Structure 1
Amino acid sequence: MTEKILDCRGLSCPKPVLETKDALDTIEPGSDTVLTVIVDNEAAKGNVKRFAESQGCEVEIKEEGERQFRLFIKKGEKFKKTPFEISCDTSPTLASSAVVFSSDVLGHGDEDLGKTLIDAFCHTLLEIKPLPSFIVCYNRGVYLAVQSSIVLDALREFERKGVEILVCGTCLRHYGLEKDLGVGKVSNMFEILEALSKVSKVINP
């Protein structure tokens, strides 16, 4: 067995995913070469793991200390040839939409009123048909997806109904919320932009 090491420490998303993709492209499917990717945050670990598994790779993770991880990736025979950045169906439908939250309140002014309004917005949106295809949370919007969020139950209901919730990993890390995520999945700018490119309408409340 041979090992190829890729050090992605200090890289912000989506660079660890893109670097991993490029490294895997140099390895033949079914090869005994193991790609070892080193990252230094939970967001990068989760993103690289999901990407590799989506391509048909086997992934093992070893935690080294509090903020360092090694991902051992083996490119199997079932590796998918379709590049990660190309979607099989990128044509939007008239019904498709995405809601993008960049704050944990709605509007400017009184903060308590803003929280009341964001709560009302989310619960009202649940009653609107069709539901959005995606909900994106970035900057302070990631506070809506944590365990203490006032709209956690509403967002979990969206997820239960098939709405994909993408939560900015860099933002979670910035606010120290990596371990507090209560709904959705840790995402990156590459994945968020790919999702937004698929919809016909983006709502920024």
Structure 2
Amino acid sequence: MPRRRYRRVSDEDRDRIITRYEAGEDFLDTAAELRIPRTTAYEIIRKFGETGERRGRYGGGRPPVLDDEAKDFLVKLVEATPTITIRKLNHTLRQTFPGKPHVCNMTVSRALDGELITLKQVHNVSANRNSEVVKAARVAFAQYMYEDGIHQHRVYVDETGYNLYTCRTYGRAPRGQCVNRIVAGQRDSDVTLIAAISNLVCLFYYEIHVTSVTKEVFKTS
């Protein structure tokens, strides 16, 4: 469907409508003669009564509801608490700046988009991962591997969990319909795999545990 185009009312036509209104005459007759909709004529009179201006304002758009101070405040809140919700951001903004216009949650979301802040998946990072002690240990291990470790026979041992329930995650169906698979209420059991890999003979040992693997089990494997 083609987009409907609205005819801009000229300043001369606006002045004729306002003049009839000021004279106490029926300005809707003038609007009908000029082929201007009744709603547009009422809007012209309403703006004239509020502002006293006889000429229309075109272009430029509306000024932003959230000013730079409010946007900077929202950015600081996100930097302090990345998992904060839009509703909480808007609530905190209203409490901090009660004199500013109250906006909806969508306006807050769009303001963050304008500040290049988007919604992302949260990744948990260990508190000690980037500590000074861990960084020093990384440097020492890298130096050992570069000088002596690279010339030795190395064996890597680690464990990982695996669920026995495996299936295809993609399927085909007519456009507009979902691909549904009827499954049981529970998935299959989990197992833990402990494997040892060497830089010379690749995988040479592994164990599969159907129960939980504790520190003691891992040491004796």
Choose between structure 1 and 2: higher strand proportion: 1
Both structures adopt the same fold (TM-score exceeding 0.5): no
- Ranked by relative contact order (alpha carbons within 8 Å, sequence separation 6 or more), the top structure is 1
Question: Normalised by the size of structure 2, how large is the TM-score?
Answer: 0.23
Question: Normalised by the size of structure 1, how large is the TM-score?
Answer: 0.25
Choose between structure 1 and 2: higher helix proportion: 2
Q: Which has the larger radius of gyration?
A: 2
